[in-house]
Amino acid sequence: MAGDFHTRQDWITLALAFSVWFAHFMIVWSISIAFPGMAAGRWLALPVTLAAFGGLWWLWRRRQDKTLASVSSLSVLIAAGAIAFSTLSPLIG
């Protein structure tokens, strides 16, 4: 791996990326339970997903190690994939 995982910035980025993912999942899952198969659920999930991707974009811009092979980069990319996947719940119903 490029860089040292013992820096505080890597741990903070990792924790924040997975926290954004967890918060997005819980909110979107609650929306899909409250509005199953309804258009309101789809419209409510859209700003939540955009806000989550905005938070990940902010984390992506503030990371210190600019390579893709760093822990901070990988944690943001994993969280982005998980957010994209968890958005399917309200879209499908």
Do the domain assignments include residue 47?
yes
Handedness of CA 82, 54, 88, 15 (dihedral sign): positive
The three-point CA angle 73-78-81 to 5° equals 125
Do the domain assignments include residue 18?
yes
Range of the structural domain that residue 84 is part of: 8-92
Do the domain assignments include residue 85?
yes
Do the domain assignments include residue 1?
no
- Domain count across the chain: 1
Do the domain assignments include residue 2?
no
Query: What is the per-residue pLDDT across 37-77, written as a single tens digit (0 to 9) for each?
Result: 889 989 999 999 999 999 999 999 987 667 777 788 899 99
Do the domain assignments include residue 76?
yes
Provide the Cα torsion 7, 10, 12, 16; round to 10°: 180
Do the domain assignments include residue 3?
no
Query: What is the per-residue pLDDT across 3-44, written as a single tens digit (0 to 9) for each?
Result: 555 677 778 999 999 999 999 999 999 998 999 888 998 999
